[in-house]
Amino acid sequence: MPDDVDRAQEREQEMRDDALADHQRLSRNGFDLPPCGECYGCGEPFGIGDNRLFCDGACADGYEHDRKQCAANGD
């Protein structure tokens, strides 16, 4: 069934785009931080060559939230 193949390839492409967007979000995400080999949010260690800053979006959001709170409490 050609339709099934097309759909599968389309899905695969979407998943790849999602993964890339997710990776970029977790790697950059507006944070000016160097990759330190572990998650800045929860401290989960990453493998060698893994330059992410966070293991998932929740950690990135949590870190950003904490940082904003720190900034607010700073003065």
Binding site for Zn ion (CB under 5 A): 39, 41-42, 44, 55, 59
- State in angstroms the smallest separation of the CB of 60 from Zn ion: 8
17 or 44: CB nearest Zn ion: 44
- State in angstroms the smallest separation of the CB of 59 from Zn ion: 3
- State in angstroms the smallest separation of the CB of 75 from Zn ion: 28
CB of 52 closer than 8 Å to CB of 27: yes
User: What sections of 1-75 are H helices per DSSP?
Assistant: 2-27, 57-73
HSE-CB of 36 using CA atoms within 13 angstroms? 11
